[in-house]
Protein backbone atom coordinates (compact mmCIF):
# COMPACT_ATOMS: atom_id res chain seq x y z
CA UNK A 1 0.00 0.00 0.00
CA UNK A 2 3.01 2.30 0.30
CA UNK A 3 3.62 4.98 2.88
CA UNK A 4 0.70 6.13 4.99
CA UNK A 5 -0.28 9.67 3.96
CA UNK A 6 -0.68 12.06 6.89
CA UNK A 7 -1.83 15.67 6.53
CA UNK A 8 -0.65 18.17 9.16
CA UNK A 9 -2.92 21.21 9.60
CA UNK A 10 -1.56 24.13 11.63
CA UNK A 11 -1.67 27.88 11.02
CA UNK A 12 1.73 28.15 12.73
CA UNK A 13 3.98 27.29 9.79
CA UNK A 14 6.99 26.48 12.00
CA UNK A 15 5.04 23.99 14.11
CA UNK A 16 3.43 22.45 11.03
CA UNK A 17 6.76 22.01 9.26
CA UNK A 18 8.35 20.45 12.34
CA UNK A 19 5.50 17.94 12.66
CA UNK A 20 5.61 17.11 8.94
CA UNK A 21 9.38 16.62 9.11
CA UNK A 22 9.05 14.42 12.21
CA UNK A 23 6.49 12.22 10.46
CA UNK A 24 8.57 12.14 7.29
CA UNK A 25 11.60 10.92 9.22
CA UNK A 26 9.42 8.16 10.71
CA UNK A 27 8.50 6.89 7.24
CA UNK A 28 5.18 8.63 6.64
CA UNK A 29 4.27 10.63 3.54
CA UNK A 30 3.56 13.89 5.39
CA UNK A 31 2.28 17.19 3.99
CA UNK A 32 1.61 20.48 5.82
CA UNK A 33 -1.19 22.96 5.10
CA UNK A 34 -2.04 26.11 7.04
CA UNK A 35 -5.84 26.08 7.28
CA UNK A 36 -8.90 23.88 7.53
CA UNK A 37 -10.02 25.04 4.09
CA UNK A 38 -6.72 23.91 2.56
CA UNK A 39 -7.05 20.60 4.39
CA UNK A 40 -10.45 19.91 2.80
CA UNK A 41 -9.02 20.73 -0.63
CA UNK A 42 -6.18 18.26 0.00
CA UNK A 43 -8.69 15.63 1.13
CA UNK A 44 -10.63 16.04 -2.12
CA UNK A 45 -7.47 15.84 -4.24
CA UNK A 46 -5.73 12.78 -2.83
CA UNK A 47 -6.07 9.80 -0.56
CA UNK A 48 -5.29 10.58 3.07
CA UNK A 49 -4.78 8.02 5.81
CA UNK A 50 -4.85 10.43 8.78
CA UNK A 51 -5.12 14.13 9.61
CA UNK A 52 -3.26 15.79 12.50
CA UNK A 53 -4.82 19.20 13.12
CA UNK A 54 -4.39 22.11 15.51
CA UNK A 55 -7.60 23.11 17.31
CA UNK A 56 -7.22 26.89 17.54
CA UNK A 57 -6.91 28.28 13.99
CA UNK A 58 -8.37 31.37 12.28
CA UNK A 59 -11.30 30.67 9.99
CA UNK A 60 -12.20 26.99 10.19
CA UNK A 61 -10.93 25.64 13.53
CA UNK A 62 -9.96 22.07 14.29
CA UNK A 63 -13.38 21.00 15.56
CA UNK A 64 -15.08 22.42 12.47
CA UNK A 65 -12.54 20.64 10.27
CA UNK A 66 -13.21 17.42 12.19
CA UNK A 67 -16.95 17.72 11.51
CA UNK A 68 -16.34 18.33 7.80
CA UNK A 69 -14.00 15.35 7.49
CA UNK A 70 -16.48 13.09 9.30
CA UNK A 71 -19.08 13.96 6.65
CA UNK A 72 -16.80 13.68 3.61
CA UNK A 73 -14.45 10.84 4.53
CA UNK A 74 -15.49 9.29 7.86
CA UNK A 75 -12.89 6.52 7.53
CA UNK A 76 -10.01 9.04 7.84
CA UNK A 77 -8.95 9.40 11.51
CA UNK A 78 -8.49 12.98 12.78
CA UNK A 79 -6.11 13.67 15.66
CA UNK A 80 -6.50 17.06 17.33
CA UNK A 81 -3.51 18.81 18.92
CA UNK A 82 -3.61 21.98 20.99
CA UNK A 83 -1.83 23.99 23.63
CA UNK A 84 -5.17 24.50 25.38
CA UNK A 85 -5.54 20.97 26.69
CA UNK A 86 -8.31 20.40 29.16
CA UNK A 87 -10.52 17.44 29.93
CA UNK A 88 -13.67 19.34 28.78
CA UNK A 89 -12.04 20.08 25.42
CA UNK A 90 -10.97 16.45 25.13
CA UNK A 91 -14.56 15.38 25.87
CA UNK A 92 -15.86 17.75 23.19
CA UNK A 93 -13.33 16.45 20.66
CA UNK A 94 -14.10 12.80 21.40
CA UNK A 95 -17.85 13.42 21.26
CA UNK A 96 -17.32 14.98 17.84
CA UNK A 97 -15.49 11.87 16.63
CA UNK A 98 -11.78 12.67 17.04
CA UNK A 99 -9.58 9.58 16.92
CA UNK A 100 -7.11 11.03 19.42
CA UNK A 101 -6.19 14.18 21.34
CA UNK A 102 -2.64 15.50 21.89
CA UNK A 103 -1.23 18.40 23.90
CA UNK A 104 1.41 20.99 23.02
CA UNK A 105 4.30 21.01 23.65
CA UNK A 106 4.32 17.64 21.89
CA UNK A 107 6.82 14.84 22.30
CA UNK A 108 8.16 12.99 19.26
CA UNK A 109 7.47 9.51 20.63
CA UNK A 110 3.94 10.40 21.76
CA UNK A 111 3.09 11.89 18.36
CA UNK A 112 4.35 8.79 16.55
CA UNK A 113 2.62 6.44 18.99
CA UNK A 114 -0.67 8.32 18.62
CA UNK A 115 -0.49 8.40 14.81
CA UNK A 116 0.32 4.68 14.79
CA UNK A 117 -2.61 3.90 17.07
CA UNK A 118 -5.05 5.93 14.96
CA UNK A 119 -3.85 4.27 11.75
CA UNK A 120 -4.08 0.81 13.34
CA UNK A 121 -7.70 1.47 14.29
CA UNK A 122 -8.54 2.75 10.82
CA UNK A 123 -6.77 -0.16 9.13
CA UNK A 124 -8.97 -2.77 10.79
CA UNK A 125 -12.00 -1.00 9.31
CA UNK A 126 -10.47 -0.42 5.89
CA UNK A 127 -12.30 -3.22 4.10
CA UNK A 128 -15.72 -2.38 5.48
CA UNK A 129 -18.10 -0.53 3.18
CA UNK A 130 -18.79 3.05 4.25
CA UNK A 131 -21.39 3.19 6.98
CA UNK A 132 -24.30 5.61 6.71
CA UNK A 133 -24.63 8.52 9.08
CA UNK A 134 -28.13 8.24 10.48
CA UNK A 135 -29.16 11.66 11.67
CA UNK A 136 -30.89 11.36 15.03
CA UNK A 137 -33.92 13.46 15.68
CA UNK A 138 -35.18 10.87 18.09
CA UNK A 139 -34.63 8.09 15.55
CA UNK A 140 -37.45 6.97 13.32
CA UNK A 141 -36.37 3.35 13.52
CA UNK A 142 -39.79 2.10 12.45
CA UNK A 143 -43.33 1.44 13.61
CA UNK A 144 -43.53 -2.32 13.01
CA UNK A 145 -44.55 -4.59 15.84
CA UNK A 146 -41.02 -6.01 16.09
CA UNK A 147 -39.48 -2.54 16.34
CA UNK A 148 -42.14 -1.29 18.75
CA UNK A 149 -41.31 -4.20 21.06
CA UNK A 150 -37.61 -3.28 20.96
CA UNK A 151 -38.36 0.41 21.55
CA UNK A 152 -40.65 -0.39 24.48
CA UNK A 153 -37.80 -2.25 26.18
CA UNK A 154 -35.43 0.59 25.31
CA UNK A 155 -37.73 3.22 26.83
CA UNK A 156 -38.09 1.26 30.07
CA UNK A 157 -34.35 0.71 30.38
CA UNK A 158 -33.31 4.24 29.39
CA UNK A 159 -34.01 5.99 32.68
CA UNK A 160 -32.22 3.35 34.77
CA UNK A 161 -28.54 2.58 35.27
CA UNK A 162 -28.98 -1.04 34.18
CA UNK A 163 -26.43 -2.36 31.67
CA UNK A 164 -27.99 -2.96 28.25
CA UNK A 165 -26.84 -5.49 25.66
CA UNK A 166 -27.99 -4.65 22.13
CA UNK A 167 -28.10 -7.68 19.87
CA UNK A 168 -28.88 -8.20 16.22
CA UNK A 169 -27.42 -8.58 12.77
CA UNK A 170 -25.01 -6.04 11.32
CA UNK A 171 -26.76 -2.96 10.02
CA UNK A 172 -29.88 -3.18 12.18
CA UNK A 173 -29.25 0.11 13.99
CA UNK A 174 -27.61 -0.94 17.25
CA UNK A 175 -25.51 2.21 17.56
CA UNK A 176 -28.54 4.39 16.79
CA UNK A 177 -30.39 2.56 19.58
CA UNK A 178 -27.45 3.09 21.95
CA UNK A 179 -27.53 6.82 21.22
CA UNK A 180 -31.26 6.84 21.85
CA UNK A 181 -30.79 5.07 25.18
CA UNK A 182 -28.43 7.83 26.23
CA UNK A 183 -30.67 10.60 24.88
CA UNK A 184 -33.64 9.33 26.90
CA UNK A 185 -31.60 8.71 30.05
CA UNK A 186 -31.04 11.07 32.97
CA UNK A 187 -27.29 11.05 32.33
CA UNK A 188 -25.84 14.53 31.84
CA UNK A 189 -22.37 13.45 30.69
CA UNK A 190 -21.36 12.57 27.12
CA UNK A 191 -22.11 9.51 25.00
CA UNK A 192 -18.72 7.94 24.28
CA UNK A 193 -18.38 5.03 21.85
CA UNK A 194 -15.55 2.49 21.70
CA UNK A 195 -15.49 0.22 18.66
CA UNK A 196 -13.84 -2.75 20.30
CA UNK A 197 -13.30 -4.71 17.09
CA UNK A 198 -11.38 -1.85 15.49
CA UNK A 199 -8.28 -1.90 17.72
CA UNK A 200 -5.74 -4.57 18.64
CA UNK A 201 -5.64 -5.65 22.27
CA UNK A 202 -2.66 -3.50 23.28
CA UNK A 203 -4.25 -0.32 21.91
CA UNK A 204 -7.75 -1.10 23.17
CA UNK A 205 -6.57 -1.05 26.79
CA UNK A 206 -5.03 2.41 26.54
CA UNK A 207 -8.08 3.59 24.58
CA UNK A 208 -10.42 2.42 27.31
CA UNK A 209 -8.50 3.19 30.50
CA UNK A 210 -6.03 5.90 29.50
CA UNK A 211 -2.48 6.04 30.81
CA UNK A 212 -0.12 7.84 33.17
CA UNK A 213 3.02 9.74 32.24
CA UNK A 214 5.82 7.24 31.66
CA UNK A 215 3.51 4.24 31.26
CA UNK A 216 5.27 3.43 27.99
CA UNK A 217 7.54 5.07 25.43
CA UNK A 218 5.94 8.30 24.25
CA UNK A 219 3.63 8.73 27.23
CA UNK A 220 4.92 12.15 28.32
CA UNK A 221 1.71 13.18 30.09
CA UNK A 222 -1.39 11.62 31.61
CA UNK A 223 -3.99 10.83 28.94
CA UNK A 224 -7.66 10.21 29.79
CA UNK A 225 -9.24 7.07 28.38
CA UNK A 226 -12.77 6.65 27.06
CA UNK A 227 -14.04 5.52 30.47
CA UNK A 228 -12.86 8.77 32.04
CA UNK A 229 -14.23 10.85 29.17
CA UNK A 230 -17.64 9.18 29.64
CA UNK A 231 -17.91 10.13 33.33
CA UNK A 232 -21.50 11.07 34.12
CA UNK A 233 -22.62 9.73 30.77
CA UNK A 234 -22.80 6.52 28.74
CA UNK A 235 -19.98 4.26 27.52
CA UNK A 236 -20.96 2.30 24.42
CA UNK A 237 -18.89 -0.85 23.85
CA UNK A 238 -19.57 -1.80 20.24
CA UNK A 239 -18.70 -5.30 18.96
CA UNK A 240 -18.05 -6.52 22.48
CA UNK A 241 -17.78 -10.09 21.14
CA UNK A 242 -14.45 -9.20 19.49
CA UNK A 243 -12.68 -8.43 22.78
CA UNK A 244 -9.84 -10.73 23.89
CA UNK A 245 -10.11 -12.78 27.08
CA UNK A 246 -7.46 -10.69 28.85
CA UNK A 247 -9.35 -7.44 28.17
CA UNK A 248 -12.59 -9.17 29.16
CA UNK A 249 -11.14 -9.63 32.67
CA UNK A 250 -10.56 -5.88 32.99
CA UNK A 251 -13.98 -5.05 31.56
CA UNK A 252 -15.57 -7.39 34.10
CA UNK A 253 -13.92 -5.50 36.94
CA UNK A 254 -14.90 -2.16 35.40
CA UNK A 255 -18.58 -3.14 35.10
CA UNK A 256 -18.79 -5.08 38.34
CA UNK A 257 -16.82 -2.78 40.65
CA UNK A 258 -17.36 0.51 38.79
CA UNK A 259 -13.67 1.28 38.99
CA UNK A 260 -10.67 1.23 36.66
CA UNK A 261 -6.93 1.75 36.63
CA UNK A 262 -5.03 3.82 34.07
CA UNK A 263 -2.04 2.10 32.47
CA UNK A 264 0.99 2.81 34.64
CA UNK A 265 -1.10 3.94 37.64
CA UNK A 266 -1.04 2.49 41.13
CA UNK A 267 -4.43 3.77 42.28
CA UNK A 268 -7.97 2.98 41.24
CA UNK A 269 -10.42 5.52 39.80
CA UNK A 270 -14.20 5.44 40.20
CA UNK A 271 -16.29 5.07 37.03
CA UNK A 272 -19.59 6.95 37.07
CA UNK A 273 -20.61 5.44 33.76
CA UNK A 274 -23.68 3.73 32.32
CA UNK A 275 -22.67 0.73 30.16
CA UNK A 276 -24.28 -0.22 26.87
CA UNK A 277 -22.75 -2.99 24.74
CA UNK A 278 -23.58 -4.33 21.30
CA UNK A 279 -22.73 -7.40 19.25
CA UNK A 280 -23.87 -9.38 16.23
CA UNK A 281 -22.19 -12.53 17.58
CA UNK A 282 -23.77 -15.48 19.40
CA UNK A 283 -22.30 -14.83 22.84
CA UNK A 284 -23.92 -17.92 24.38
CA UNK A 285 -22.09 -20.09 21.83
CA UNK A 286 -18.86 -18.22 22.55
CA UNK A 287 -19.33 -18.90 26.28
CA UNK A 288 -19.72 -22.62 25.53
CA UNK A 289 -16.59 -22.53 23.35
CA UNK A 290 -14.60 -20.75 26.06
CA UNK A 291 -13.90 -17.62 23.97
CA UNK A 292 -16.15 -15.34 26.04
CA UNK A 293 -16.28 -15.20 29.82
CA UNK A 294 -19.54 -16.43 31.30
CA UNK A 295 -19.39 -13.98 34.22
CA UNK A 296 -18.90 -11.03 31.84
CA UNK A 297 -21.77 -12.23 29.68
CA UNK A 298 -24.15 -12.18 32.66
CA UNK A 299 -22.91 -8.72 33.68
CA UNK A 300 -23.62 -7.42 30.18
CA UNK A 301 -26.88 -9.26 29.57
CA UNK A 302 -28.89 -7.51 32.29
CA UNK A 303 -31.31 -5.92 29.82
CA UNK A 304 -31.04 -7.63 26.43
CA UNK A 305 -32.64 -5.80 23.50
CA UNK A 306 -32.68 -7.42 20.07
CA UNK A 307 -32.82 -5.15 17.04
CA UNK A 308 -34.91 -7.01 14.45
CA UNK A 309 -33.64 -7.45 10.89
CA UNK A 310 -35.39 -5.57 8.12
CA UNK A 311 -36.88 -8.76 6.65
CA UNK A 312 -38.97 -9.10 9.82
CA UNK A 313 -40.33 -5.54 9.58
CA UNK A 314 -40.97 -4.80 5.91
CA UNK A 315 -43.56 -2.15 6.79
CA UNK A 316 -40.67 -0.04 8.09
CA UNK A 317 -38.97 0.10 4.68
CA UNK A 318 -41.28 2.86 3.40
CA UNK A 319 -40.79 5.37 6.25
CA UNK A 320 -37.06 4.61 6.41
CA UNK A 321 -36.71 5.09 2.65
CA UNK A 322 -38.55 8.43 2.72
CA UNK A 323 -36.42 9.61 5.61
CA UNK A 324 -33.16 8.58 3.95
CA UNK A 325 -34.16 10.26 0.69
CA UNK A 326 -34.79 13.55 2.50
CA UNK A 327 -31.58 13.39 4.56
CA UNK A 328 -29.28 12.13 1.83
CA UNK A 329 -30.66 14.47 -0.82
CA UNK A 330 -29.90 17.38 1.52
CA UNK A 331 -26.39 16.08 2.16
CA UNK A 332 -25.66 15.56 -1.55
CA UNK A 333 -26.89 18.96 -2.67
CA UNK A 334 -30.21 17.69 -4.06
CA UNK A 335 -32.63 19.00 -1.45
CA UNK A 336 -36.27 18.52 -2.40
CA UNK A 337 -35.71 15.33 -4.41
CA UNK A 338 -38.77 13.04 -4.17
CA UNK A 339 -39.37 9.32 -4.57
CA UNK A 340 -42.63 8.12 -6.11
CA UNK A 341 -44.99 5.46 -4.75
CA UNK A 342 -44.09 2.82 -7.36
CA UNK A 343 -40.40 3.18 -6.47
CA UNK A 344 -41.18 2.75 -2.78
CA UNK A 345 -43.24 -0.35 -3.55
CA UNK A 346 -40.29 -1.83 -5.44
CA UNK A 347 -38.02 -1.03 -2.50
CA UNK A 348 -40.43 -2.68 -0.07
CA UNK A 349 -40.54 -5.86 -2.15
CA UNK A 350 -36.74 -6.21 -2.31
CA UNK A 351 -34.55 -8.16 0.10
CA UNK A 352 -32.12 -6.23 2.30
CA UNK A 353 -29.61 -8.69 3.82
CA UNK A 354 -27.49 -5.74 4.93
CA UNK A 355 -30.50 -4.34 6.79
CA UNK A 356 -30.90 -0.61 7.43
CA UNK A 357 -27.25 0.09 6.57
CA UNK A 358 -27.64 -1.47 3.13
CA UNK A 359 -30.95 0.34 2.61
CA UNK A 360 -29.32 3.68 3.43
CA UNK A 361 -26.38 3.10 1.08
CA UNK A 362 -28.78 2.00 -1.67
CA UNK A 363 -30.91 5.13 -1.25
CA UNK A 364 -27.78 7.28 -1.51
CA UNK A 365 -27.04 5.70 -4.90
CA UNK A 366 -30.59 6.49 -5.99
CA UNK A 367 -30.14 10.09 -4.87
CA UNK A 368 -26.86 10.44 -6.76
CA UNK A 369 -28.06 8.97 -10.07
CA UNK A 370 -31.75 9.99 -10.25
CA UNK A 371 -32.87 12.80 -12.58
CA UNK A 372 -35.85 14.93 -11.57
CA UNK A 373 -37.24 12.38 -9.11
CA UNK A 374 -36.65 8.77 -8.06
CA UNK A 375 -38.86 6.42 -10.04
CA UNK A 376 -39.32 2.67 -10.26
CA UNK A 377 -36.91 2.51 -13.21
CA UNK A 378 -34.16 3.99 -11.00
CA UNK A 379 -34.84 1.41 -8.30
CA UNK A 380 -34.88 -1.50 -10.75
CA UNK A 381 -31.66 -0.30 -12.39
CA UNK A 382 -29.81 -0.12 -9.09
CA UNK A 383 -31.32 -3.36 -7.79
CA UNK A 384 -29.91 -5.13 -10.86
CA UNK A 385 -26.46 -3.75 -10.12
CA UNK A 386 -26.31 -3.47 -6.31
CA UNK A 387 -23.30 -4.87 -4.48
CA UNK A 388 -19.95 -5.50 -6.09
CA UNK A 389 -20.88 -9.10 -6.94
CA UNK A 390 -23.15 -8.49 -9.96
CA UNK A 391 -20.77 -5.90 -11.43
CA UNK A 392 -17.70 -8.05 -10.89
CA UNK A 393 -19.48 -11.07 -12.35
CA UNK A 394 -20.55 -9.13 -15.43
CA UNK A 395 -17.06 -7.69 -15.79
CA UNK A 396 -15.52 -11.14 -15.48
CA UNK A 397 -17.75 -12.41 -18.29
CA UNK A 398 -16.82 -9.45 -20.46
CA UNK A 399 -13.13 -9.76 -19.61
CA UNK A 400 -13.12 -13.49 -20.27
CA UNK A 401 -14.66 -12.92 -23.69
CA UNK A 402 -12.09 -10.22 -24.49
CA UNK A 403 -9.08 -12.01 -23.01
CA UNK A 404 -6.64 -13.67 -25.41
CA UNK A 405 -6.95 -17.41 -25.80
CA UNK A 406 -5.00 -19.11 -23.05
CA UNK A 407 -4.99 -16.07 -20.73
CA UNK A 408 -4.43 -17.10 -17.13
CA UNK A 409 -7.21 -16.98 -14.55
CA UNK A 410 -5.27 -14.31 -12.67
CA UNK A 411 -5.00 -12.15 -15.79
CA UNK A 412 -8.74 -12.47 -16.36
CA UNK A 413 -9.43 -11.52 -12.74
CA UNK A 414 -7.28 -8.40 -13.02
CA UNK A 415 -9.06 -7.33 -16.20
CA UNK A 416 -12.43 -7.97 -14.55
CA UNK A 417 -11.53 -5.83 -11.54
CA UNK A 418 -10.17 -3.07 -13.80
CA UNK A 419 -13.42 -3.06 -15.79
CA UNK A 420 -15.57 -2.99 -12.64
CA UNK A 421 -13.59 -0.12 -11.08
CA UNK A 422 -13.62 1.93 -14.29
CA UNK A 423 -17.37 1.35 -14.65
CA UNK A 424 -18.01 2.53 -11.08
CA UNK A 425 -15.86 5.64 -11.57
CA UNK A 426 -17.70 6.41 -14.80
CA UNK A 427 -21.11 6.00 -13.16
CA UNK A 428 -19.98 8.20 -10.25
CA UNK A 429 -18.63 10.84 -12.65
CA UNK A 430 -15.16 10.48 -11.12
CA UNK A 431 -16.33 10.89 -7.51
CA UNK A 432 -14.22 8.31 -5.68
CA UNK A 433 -16.33 8.21 -2.53
CA UNK A 434 -19.46 7.49 -4.57
CA UNK A 435 -17.57 4.92 -6.66
CA UNK A 436 -16.49 3.12 -3.48
CA UNK A 437 -20.12 2.96 -2.34
CA UNK A 438 -21.17 1.57 -5.72
CA UNK A 439 -18.53 -1.14 -5.46
CA UNK A 440 -19.44 -1.89 -1.84
CA UNK A 441 -15.89 -1.24 -0.59
CA UNK A 442 -14.19 1.41 1.51
CA UNK A 443 -12.64 4.50 -0.03
CA UNK A 444 -9.19 3.29 1.03
CA UNK A 445 -9.72 -0.08 -0.67
CA UNK A 446 -10.72 1.75 -3.85
CA UNK A 447 -7.55 3.88 -3.73
CA UNK A 448 -5.47 0.73 -3.29
CA UNK A 449 -7.17 -0.83 -6.31
CA UNK A 450 -6.50 2.28 -8.39
CA UNK A 451 -2.79 1.89 -7.63
CA UNK A 452 -2.75 -1.89 -8.02
CA UNK A 453 -4.58 -1.78 -11.37
CA UNK A 454 -2.66 1.27 -12.65
CA UNK A 455 -5.85 3.26 -13.17
CA UNK A 456 -4.92 6.94 -13.39
CA UNK A 457 -7.95 8.46 -15.12
CA UNK A 458 -10.11 8.76 -11.97
Least confident of 74-78, 96-100, 229-233: 96-100
Highest mean pLDDT among 116-125, 177-186, 434-443: 177-186
Element spanning 32, H or E: strand 29-33
Higher pLDDT, 386 or 213: 213
Backbone angles phi, psi at 45, to 5 degrees: -90, -25
pLDDT of residue 259: 93
Sheet strands (E) in 1-108 = 5-9, 29-33, 50-54, 78-82, 100-103
Higher pLDDT, 199 or 58: 58
pLDDT of residue 118: 81
For residue 236, being part of any structural domain is answered with yes
Is omega for the bond preceding 128 within 30 degrees of 0, making it cis? no
pLDDT tier at 256, thresholds 50, 70, 90: very high
The pLDDT of 133-157, averaged and rounded, is 73
Reported for 102-106, long-range contacts at CB under 8 A and 24+ positions apart, including other chains, are 102/52, 103/221, 104/15, 106/19, 106/81
Asked if 213 and 269 sit in the same domain, the reply is: yes
Residue 147 predicted with pLDDT over 70: yes
pLDDT of residue 99: 84
Residue 87 predicted with pLDDT over 80: no
For residue 276, being part of any structural domain is answered with yes
Identify the bridge partners of residue 5 per DSSP, sorted by sequence position. 29
Residue 416 predicted with pLDDT over 50: yes
Residue 121 predicted with pLDDT over 60: yes
The CATH code of the domain that includes 44 is 3.40.50.2300
pLDDT tier at 457, thresholds 50, 70, 90: low
Asked if 173 and 282 sit in the same domain, the reply is: yes
Chain length of the chain: 458
Output Rg (C-alpha) for the chain, integer angstroms: 23
Asked if 288 and 216 sit in the same domain, the reply is: yes
Residue 393 predicted with pLDDT over 50: no
What number of CA atoms fall less than 13 Å from residue 272's CA on the CB side? 8
Q: Is the dihedral of CA 128, 129, 135, 140 positive or negative?
A: negative
For residue 130, being part of any structural domain is answered with no
How far CA 116 is from CA of 81, 97, 123, 231, 292, in Å, comes to 15, 17, 10, 27, 28
pLDDT of residue 440: 67
For residue 42, being part of any structural domain is answered with yes
Separation of alpha carbons 67 and 353, rounded Å: 30
pLDDT tier at 310, thresholds 50, 70, 90: very high
Asked if 276 and 157 sit in the same domain, the reply is: yes
Asked if 216 and 84 sit in the same domain, the reply is: no
233, 274 contact by CB (below 8 A): yes
Identify the bridge partners of residue 80 per DSSP, sorted by sequence position. 53, 101
Please say which residue of 307, 337, 358 terminates a domain: 307
For residue 188, being part of any structural domain is answered with yes
Identify the bridge partners of residue 315 per DSSP, sorted by sequence position. none
Asked if 411 and 428 sit in the same domain, the reply is: yes
Highest mean pLDDT among 166-170, 398-402, 432-436: 166-170
Identify the bridge partners of residue 269 per DSSP, sorted by sequence position. 260
pLDDT of residue 3: 83
Separation of alpha carbons 308 and 153, rounded Å: 13
Residue 112 CB contacts under 8 Å (≥ 6 apart), including other chains: 22, 23, 26, 218
Q: What is the extent of the structural domain holding 178?
A: 145-307
The CATH code of the domain that includes 331 is 1.10.8.60
Please say which residue of 307, 324, 357 terminates a domain: 307
pLDDT tier at 126, thresholds 50, 70, 90: very low
Asked if 184 and 213 sit in the same domain, the reply is: yes
191, 233 contact by CB (below 8 A): yes
Strands of the 164-167 sheet, one edge to the other = 191-195, 234-238, 274-279, 164-167, 303-306
Asked if 214 and 269 sit in the same domain, the reply is: yes
Residue 215 CB contacts under 8 Å (≥ 6 apart), including other chains: 206, 262, 263, 264, 265
Which residue from 93, 101, 83 is spatially nearest to 63, judged by alpha carbons? Answer: 93
Higher pLDDT, 409 or 145: 145
pLDDT of residue 255: 96
Backbone angles phi, psi at 245, to 5 degrees: -60, -35
Asked if 159 and 253 sit in the same domain, the reply is: yes
Q: Which value, to the nearest 10 degrees, does the dihedral of the CA atoms of residues 186, 190, 191, 197 take?
A: -140
Q: Is the dihedral of CA 177, 224, 239, 163 positive or negative?
A: negative
Residue 244 predicted with pLDDT over 80: yes
Residue 136 predicted with pLDDT over 50: no
For residue 69, being part of any structural domain is answered with yes
pLDDT tier at 129, thresholds 50, 70, 90: very low
331, 437 contact by CB (below 8 A): no
pLDDT of residue 320: 92
Residue 100 predicted with pLDDT over 90: no
Residue 458 predicted with pLDDT over 60: no
∠ CA 298-302-306, rounded to 5°: 105
Please say which residue of 91, 124, 157 terminates a domain: 124
For residue 324, being part of any structural domain is answered with yes
Q: Determine what percent of the chain is predicted with pLDDT higher than 90.
A: 46
pLDDT of residue 211: 86
317, 352 contact by CB (below 8 A): yes
∠ CA 341-323-307, rounded to 5°: 110
Asked if 216 and 259 sit in the same domain, the reply is: yes
Give me the helix-helix angle, 108-124 and 13-25, nearest 10°: 70
pLDDT of residue 50: 94
Higher pLDDT, 189 or 124: 189
Asked if 166 and 294 sit in the same domain, the reply is: yes
Asked if 364 and 403 sit in the same domain, the reply is: no
Instruction: Count structural domains, the chain.
Output: 4
pTM over 0.85: no
pLDDT tier at 86, thresholds 50, 70, 90: low
For residue 135, being part of any structural domain is answered with no
The CATH code of the domain that includes 302 is 3.40.50.300
Separation of alpha carbons 278 and 429, rounded Å: 38
Amino acid sequence: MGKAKVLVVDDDRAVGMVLAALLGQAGYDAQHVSSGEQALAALAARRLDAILSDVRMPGMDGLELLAAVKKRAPEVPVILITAHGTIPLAVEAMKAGAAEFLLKPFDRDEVLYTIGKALAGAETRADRPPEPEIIDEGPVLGSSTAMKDAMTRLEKAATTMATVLLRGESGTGKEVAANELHRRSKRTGPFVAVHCGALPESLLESELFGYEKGAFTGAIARKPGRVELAQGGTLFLDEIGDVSLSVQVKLLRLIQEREFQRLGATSLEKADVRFVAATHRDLEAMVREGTFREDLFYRLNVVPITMPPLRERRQDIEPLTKRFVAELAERNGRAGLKIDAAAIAAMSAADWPGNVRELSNFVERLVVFASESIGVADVERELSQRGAGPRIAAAETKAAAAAPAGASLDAQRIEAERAAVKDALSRAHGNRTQAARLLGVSRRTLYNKLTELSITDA
